[in-house]
Amino acid sequence: MNGNEELLVGLVSISDRAAQGVYEDRGLPALDHWLRLAVSSPWRSETRLIADDRPSIEQTLIDLVDRIGCHLILTTGGTGPAARDQTPEATLAVADRLMPGFGEEMRRISLNFVPTAILSRQVAVIRRQTLIVNLPGQPKAIRETLEGLRTADGSLLVSGIFAAIPYCIDLLGGPYVETREEVVKAFRPKSAQRSQPA
């Protein structure tokens, strides 16, 4: 992978009823909309709408990493305590390494809004050179965990998890991802920052 290529993001919405057409999926549009607002460097996505079925989730993640070559995969849905919620187990099953800080921070952010955030079991892992992150199922919670918390005047109170994702992708050998600071400011150590063209 080289630093000049575009970011390839796998977007996976996991919902039995949406996959069956019982209702319209809201996860994929929410992920796509937020990324369009936040990411300023070139990117494109591979989208999947699948049932909350562990073998299907595992195979989808493997395909997006091993065959498609995604640098980042964001999943939404299937992270609660119900027996049918299989996303964390499927994600861990395909992992080479764990990234526990993402799940911890997502729960911390969401606890500012709902006490049931502690029931969420989101995880983040690395498979090969790909970061896979389980996000909440609701569009509002997706935005909050990616973007962070702001005060009434718009100043940042708590950074969202996406602030750390571009540097993580750097460390995994992926493309240099830049963001729009008014949405989310990517954090990198000074030694890893590229100078802006004059």
pLDDT band at residue 16 under the 50/70/90 scheme: confident
Per-residue pLDDT tens for 64-76? 999 999 999 999 9
pLDDT band at residue 17 under the 50/70/90 scheme: confident
CATH H-level, domain 7-188: superfamily: MoaB/Mog-like domain (3.40.980.10)
pLDDT band at residue 1 under the 50/70/90 scheme: very low
pLDDT of residue 121: 96
For the chain, the domains span: 7-188
Asked if the model's pLDDT at residue 3 lies above 50, the reply is no
In the block, which residue shows the tokens 């709902």?
A: 114
- 3-state SS, one letter per residue, for the chain: CCCCCCEEEEEEEECHHHHCCCCCCCHHHHHHHHHHHHECCCEEEEEEEECCCHHHHHHHHHHHHHHCCCCEEEEECCCCCCCCCCHHHHHHHCCCEECHHHHHHHHHHHCCCCHHHHHCCCCEEEECCEEEEEECCCHHHHHHHHHEEECCCCCEEEECHHHHHHHHHHHCCCCCCCECCCCCCCCCCHHHCCCCCC
pLDDT band at residue 197 under the 50/70/90 scheme: low
